[in-house]
Structure formats: structure tokens, C-alpha cells
């Protein structure tokens, strides 16, 4: 049975997350419906990283098995035709072997969190940023972020409903930079790991925001991590500021 690797982009705003639900609209449900409409098959997708309600993606990866050996450009174009007018696009479709698994073959996942750091609200990007109107020190945020790198128990940054068997994760990258373009002031948090806990990135973003505002020091952030003191974390950053930006696979 041919297996297809799909690279997908979507605006998470209208959806209740990636994972199919019985009643609510989801990204997985929308794409699986499109698959059935063009192929006649009730196929199921497996993705690299299930995103929460409101979280976006510019390079989500999923695989799907179909009975017919379709041309890859036909798969891409047919899915996009049936997805309109939803804010979901299949950027590419590629034939892969059955050994490829979008989730289990992944060796690294990448996320980006965007903070609009200015008094005036966003006009064009309001659904894709967290507006923080008070001044934030990006260098101080970056210094605090470096205290979270490495292999740790991230219980302090884990959702209460997280179903992961272990809270231990290895954080490979957590960089904070400020980007300026005229009066546009955006702080970007870029992070990478093999896997993340439920709400981990958003919890880290909220905590780093407190560091940037001077309410937490880098040592405080390290202490929150070490003591697993969830009550000392910052607020859970809004979902709209988070984007799944890529996934790495081992070379063939």
C-alpha cells in the first residue's frame, strides 16, 4: 500500500487542534475528509506533532497510506482543492517507504513563539502573536532561557492533563531574539527538541516573559526548573503565538 509523506501548513485559529474529534473541527479531520473526497478512502493521518487548539504550523509533517498509486502532484493538488476555503494547505506530497513514520521517525521538532512587544495592538498579525505592551528585555530572556537547556525534569512546565509517561525531556535549543522593522517590535523564541511535553513551549514562553519584565531572574528560572515549582511559572502564553515550524528526520 503506497505511503505518502505530506508537508502541511495551517492557521490553527478555526480549529480545535490537530487531532480528530467527534464533533469539533480539527486539522486532521479536515485533511482526512479531503482524502476521502478525492480518493474514496477513509484513511487516517499520522502527524509529527499534534498541535493544540489555536496553534499554527508552517511545516507540519504527516503520512497517509492509500490503496491506489497516485501521482504525488495529484495528491497535493486534489487535497488542496477539497480543503478550500479552509486555512489549510498541503505544500508537498512525496512517496516514502513503509519504514517512514511521521511521528516515530522524527528526531527533532522545532517551534517558534512570537511576542509583539509594543503598546499598539496588532492589526495584521493579531491571531499569530502575543501582544505584551510593557517593555521586555530580550537579552535577559535569552540568558534565562539558557538555564533550561539540556536534559531535565520539566514538570514545572507541563500541563496537568499531559499524558506523557515521563516529564524528562532534552531541550536542545531555546533562543530569544528581538526583531525590529520600523515600529514593529517582535520578540521571537525559537526552540528545538526531540519531543515536548503538553504546553511546555507555551509555559516556557510565559516564564521567559516574566524574566524579560524583571520579575524573575535567570537564577529564578533555574530554580523553578529544579524544584518543579509550577506555581512559580509565568502565565501560559496564548496558543496563537505558537507555530510548529519544522521537523527533522534522520538521513536515509
Pairing of strands 184-193, 106-116: antiparallel
30: burial class by Cβ within 10 Å (0-12, 13-18, 19+)?
A: buried
DSSP 8-state symbol, 189: E
Q: State yes or no: is 73 an active-site residue.
A: no
Sign (positive/negative) of CA torsion 228, 114, 190, 250? positive
Rounded distance, CA 190 to CA 106, Å? 18
Q: At what angle do helices 27-39 and 72-83 cross, to 10 degrees?
A: 120
- Cis peptide before 221, with omega less than 30 degrees from 0? no
Q: Which residue among 52, 65, 77, 219 is the active-site one?
A: 52
A 10 A CB-CB count for 87 gives 16
At residue 173, the 3 state secondary structure works out as: strand
Q: Which residues are catalytic?
A: 52
Amino acid at each position: 500500500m503506497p505511503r505518502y509523506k505530506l508537508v502541511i501548513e495551517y492557521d490553527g485559529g478555526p480549529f480545535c487542534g490537530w487531532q480528530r474529534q467527534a464533533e469539533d473541527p480539527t486539522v486532521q479531520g479536515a485533511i482526512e475528509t479531503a482524502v476521502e473526497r478525492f480518493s474514496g478512502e477513509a484513511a487516517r493521518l499520522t502527524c509529527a506533532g499534534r498541535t493544540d487548539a489555536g496553534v499554527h504550523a508552517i511545516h507540519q509533517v504527516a503520512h497517509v497510506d492509500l490503496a491506489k498509486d497516485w501521482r504525488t502532484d495529484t495528491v497535493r493538488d486534489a487535497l488542496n482543492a477539497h480543503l478550500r476555503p479552509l486555512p489549510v494547505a498541503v505544500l508537498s506530497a512525496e512517496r516514502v517507504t513503509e519504514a517512514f513514520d511521521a511521528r516515530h521517525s522524527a528526531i527533532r521538532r522545532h517551534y517558534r513563539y512570537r511576542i509583539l512587544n509594543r503598546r499598539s495592538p496588532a492589526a495584521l498579525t493579531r491571531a499569530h502573536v502575543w501582544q505584551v505592551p510593557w517593555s521586555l528585555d530580550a537579552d535577559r530572556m535569552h540568558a534565562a532561557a539558557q538555564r533550561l537547556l539540556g536534559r531535565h525534569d520539566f514538570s514545572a512546565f507541563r500541563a496537568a492533563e499531559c499524558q506523557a509517561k515521563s516529564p524528562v525531556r532534552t531541550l536542545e535549543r531555546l533562543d530569544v531574539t528581538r526583531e525590529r522593522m520600523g515600529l514593529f517590535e517582535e520578540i521571537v523564541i525559537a526552540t528545538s527538541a526531540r519531543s515536548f511535553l503538553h504546553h511546555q513551549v507555551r509555559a516556557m514562553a510565559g516564564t521567559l516573559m516574566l524574566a524579560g519584565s524583571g520579575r524573575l531572574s535567570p537564577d529564578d528560572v533555574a530554580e523553578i526548573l529544579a524544584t518543579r515549582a509550577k506555581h512559580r511559572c509565568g502565565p501560559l502564553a496564548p496558543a496563537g503565538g505558537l507555530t510548529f515550524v519544522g521537523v527533522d528526520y534522520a538521513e536515509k
